[in-house]
C-alpha cells in the first residue's frame, strides 16, 4: 500500500524530529520511494539536508566540551549535555581503513568513543582509567558511525560511561569507560 504524498511528508517530518541523523538513502528505504522523491519532499517541507540538520542539532543542544580542545575531539560532536549524554558522528574515509580489506582501523572507532567519553565529563582534567570494548562488526570506508555516550555512574574521582556506536541502526562497537577526573583539591600536573 502506497502512502499519499501529504501523509508521507507528515511522517517524514515526524521521523526526522525523532532522528535528525537519518540519511536520504535511509529515508528512501524506510518509505519505499526513490531518493529523489525524498529530496523533493524535504524541499517542499523546508527540511534541510543532513549536514544542515546535524549543525542545527549541534548548535541547539550542545554544552561546551571542557576537557578537550576542538582539534582533540575525534568525530564531530553533535549533542552534548555534560554529565548526561553525548552523540558524535564519524564519516569513515579511505584514510581510516586498511588498504587491502577496506575495513576501518579499530583505533579510529575507539578514538571516537573515548573522546566522546572524555567530553561528557564536566571537568578540565579527565583521563581514561580503564576501558572494556567490543567490536561487533567491521566498518568500511563510506560508512557513517554514530556514537552515543551516556553517564552510567559516578564515584569518588571516577565516572562510568557507556558508549554504543551504530552504522545505519546496527551496533558496530560497544564500550564501558572508567574515567578519572581530578577533583578541585588535587594538585594539577605541571605543563
**Residue 144 falls inside a structural domain:** yes
pLDDT digit string, tens, across residues 143-164: 999 999 999 998 877 899 999 9
| Maximum distance among all Cα pairs of the chain, rounded to whole angstroms | 67
How does pLDDT run across 11-63, given as a tens digit for each residue? 988 888 877 778 888 899 999 999 999 989 988 888 888 777 766 665 554 45
Q: Tell me the pTM.
A: 0.66
Is residue 188 situated within a structural domain? no
Half-sphere exposure of 172 (CA within 13 A, CB side): 26
For 6, the 3-state DSSP assignment is helix
Among 15, 32, 56, the domain boundary falls at: 56
- What domain range is 34 assigned to? 5-56
In residues, how long is the chain? 191
Domain assignment present for 91? yes
Residue 157 domain flag? yes
What pLDDT does residue 76 have?
Answer: 85
Amino acid at each position: 500500500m502506497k502512502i499519499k504524498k501529504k501523509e508521507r511528508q507528515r511522517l517524514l517530518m515526524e521521523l526526522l524530529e525523532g532522528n535528525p541523523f537519518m540519511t536520504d538513502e535511509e529515508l528512501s528505504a524506510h518509505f519505499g520511494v526513490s531518493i529523489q522523491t525524498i529530496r523533493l519532499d524535504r524541499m517542499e517541507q523546508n527540511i534541510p539536508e543532513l549536514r544542515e540538520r546535524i549543525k542545527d542539532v549541534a548548535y541547539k543542544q550542545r554544552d561546551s566540551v571542557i576537557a578537550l580542545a576542538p582539534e582533540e575531539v575525534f568525530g564531530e560532536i553533535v549533542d552534548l549535555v555534560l554529565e548526561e549524554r553525548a552523540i558524535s558522528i564519524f564519516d569513515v574515509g579511505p584514510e581510516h581503513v586498511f588498504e587491502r580489506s577496506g575495513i576501518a582501523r579499530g583505533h579510529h572507532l575507539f578514538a571516537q568513543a573515548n573522546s566522546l567519553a572524555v567530553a561528557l565529563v564536566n571537568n578540565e582534567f579527565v583521563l581514561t582509567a580503564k576501558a572494556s570494548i567490543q567490536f561487533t562488526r567491521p566498518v568500511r570506508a563510506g560508512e557513517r558511525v554514530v556514537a552515543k555516550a551516556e553517564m552510567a555512574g559516578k564515584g569518588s574521582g571516577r565516572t562510568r560511561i557507556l558508549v554504543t556506536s551504530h552504522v545505519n541502526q546496527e551496533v558496530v562497537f560497544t564500550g564501558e569507560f572508567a574515567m578519572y577526573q581530578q577533583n578541585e583539591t588535587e594538585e594539577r600536573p605541571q605543563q
